[in-house]
């Protein structure tokens, strides 16, 4: 959530920046500034009314002490009127504050200056590529056919148990899943991230804290009986660890990693691009989250990217990195890089990770602050990234590593799997 004072101070720059998202901020900013002026005026009026009431209360006490009961009773009538006025002003103030916050929730984060113009994923900027695309034998299969051939993932059984988008992993498929999770966690821990296990359901405040609510409410599974939400990513519970916290400068940076299943009610179209593991309603993911001082957050973002590159290099998967354009950047992010692995059998790129800097946008919602060297409270910067999401990594491994003998396991995963091939 943007700070009102920053909107006032940087109004024109923010309007220009948000235009990259095709978001017309000018009329919304005018409403926010008007509401903030009303809030300030109402607060000043309330403060003055309360001060007058307190002053009269002291005078009434003196009058009663001096035996001037008639004068004291007259003043009591005035204090009653002031108390009634203060109640009305308090109600107006609260209503104005609520309207202001709800309006602020509708404004996305201002894109970083490096975010390219553009409205769709076709306008994203490729900034890095690595790895060689393997040449597969004639008749190479997509991962959903390989899963059926080797009986390692059962999509139809998942439909029977739950519905489309809830696969069942079997045998070596399940063991490969577990191997990937452990490998990702070990890599993250070795890079300085502290492992945490967090709840898979969150309350409404947590959803608002990281920006899933109200923007992505329709994409989350809602347990209505308890008013809880199944998490779309571990970012939500991990980042909310720090909601309403005042940290010390010496506490930063904070680096956490965690594995969770993720649940998303994404509506999908039909076709090969959403078949198999390409789009799921439940999937596994290992996340990395950082809390940083503002002056270090973009250096931290680069470090997170290099860390994910190292993982993909070890898996020996061909991949690329995209800087997302304004129209494709998520609602709460200031800058996002997407990692995509190349699926040889499908002849297309598959997104496997998004790494984002939210600057102070989430922290303002979370009321996540730290005390700087001068003793002043500042909003921290938050960052997160997938390290990594399993479904499309697994799809890339199955398709790119298929051989006549079977599916070769990447060398780095063999100690975690306990086998060299799926055959």
Q: Residues marked as binding for ATP?
A: 264-266, 351-354
* CA–CA separation, 173 and 194 (whole Å): 28
The pair of three-digit structure tokens given for residue 189, joined into one six-digit string:
């821990």
- 222 Cβ partners below 8 Å, 6+ apart? 228, 229
d(CA 182, CA 283): 15
Degrees to nearest 5, angle at CA 373 with 367 and 376: 40
DSSP string across 360-382: THHHHHHT-EEE-TTS-EEE-EE
Strand ranges, E, within 137-279 = 153-154, 168-169, 194-195, 201-202, 222-223, 228-230, 246-248, 254-263
Q: Can you list the alpha helix ranges (DSSP code H) found in 191-222?
A: 204-210
307 preceded by cis ω (within 30°)?
no
- Mention every residue, 6+ apart, whose C-beta is less than 8 A from residue 340: 319, 320, 321, 322, 349, 350, 351, 352
Q: Residues annotated in the binding site, as ranges? A: 233, 264-266, 287, 351-354, 384
The answer for residues whose C-beta is within 8 angstroms of residue 135's C-beta and 6 or more apart is none
Per the structure block, which two tokens stand in for 11? Answer: 């109004």
- Taking the C-alpha atoms of residue 3 and residue 363, their distance in angstroms, rounded to an integer, is 11
Q: Is 363:109 a contact under the CB 8 Å cutoff?
A: no
**Binding site as annotated, residues for L-serine:** 233, 264, 287, 384
DSSP state of 47: H
Through-space distance between the first and last CA atoms of the chain, rounded to whole angstroms: 51
């Amino acid at each position: 959530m943007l700070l009102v004072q920053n909107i006032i101070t940087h109004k024109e720059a923010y309007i220009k920046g948000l235009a990259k998202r095709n978001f017309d901020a000018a009329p919304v900013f005018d409403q926010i500034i008007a509401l903030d002026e009303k809030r300030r005026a109402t607060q000043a009026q309330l403060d003055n009314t309360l001060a007058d009431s307190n002053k009269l209360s002291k005078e009434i006490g003196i009058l009663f002490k001096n035996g001037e009961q008639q004068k004291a009773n007259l003043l009591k009538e005035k204090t009653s009127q002031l108390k009634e006025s203060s109640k009305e002003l308090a109600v107006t103030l609260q209503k104005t504050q609520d309207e202001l916050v709800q309006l602020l929730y509708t404004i996305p984060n201002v894109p970083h200056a490096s975010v390219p113009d553009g409205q769709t994923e076709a306008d994203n900027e490729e900034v890095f590529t690595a790895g060689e695309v393997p040449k597969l034998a004639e008749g190479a299969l997509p991962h959903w056919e390989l899963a059926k051939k080797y009986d390692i993932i059962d999509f139809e059984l998942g439909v029977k148990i739950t519905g489309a988008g809830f696969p069942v992993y079997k045998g070596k498929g399940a063991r490969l899943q577990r191997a990937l999770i452990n490998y990702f966690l070990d890599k993250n821990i070795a890079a300085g991230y502290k492992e945490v296990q967090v709840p898979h359901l969150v309350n409404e405040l947590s959803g608002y804290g990281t920006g899933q609510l109200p923007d992505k409410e329709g994409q989350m599974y809602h347990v209505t009986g308890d008013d809880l939400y199944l998490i779309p990513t571990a970012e939500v519970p991990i980042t909310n660890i720090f909601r309403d916290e005042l940290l010390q400068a010496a506490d930063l940076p904070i680096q956490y990693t965690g594995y969770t299943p993720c649940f998303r009610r994404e509506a999908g179209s039909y076709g090969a691009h959403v078949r198999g593991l390409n789009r799921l309603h439940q999937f596994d993911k290992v996340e990395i989250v950082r809390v940083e001082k503002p002056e270090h957050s973009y250096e931290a973002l680069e470090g997170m990217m290099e860390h994910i590159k190292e993982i993909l290099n070890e898996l020996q998967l061909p991949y690329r990195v995209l800087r997302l354009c304004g129209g494709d950047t998520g609602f709460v992010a200031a800058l996002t890089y997407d990692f995509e692995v190349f699926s040889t059998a499908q002849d297309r790129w598959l997104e496997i990770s998004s790494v984002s800097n939210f600057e102070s946008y989430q922290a303002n919602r979370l009321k996540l602050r730290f005390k700087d060297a001068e003793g002043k409270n500042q909003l921290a910067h938050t960052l997160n990234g997938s390290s990594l999401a399993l479904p499309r990594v697994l799809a890339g491994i199955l398709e790119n590593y298929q051989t006549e003998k079977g599916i070769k396991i990447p060398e780095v995963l063999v100690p975690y799997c306990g086998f060299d091939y799926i055959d």
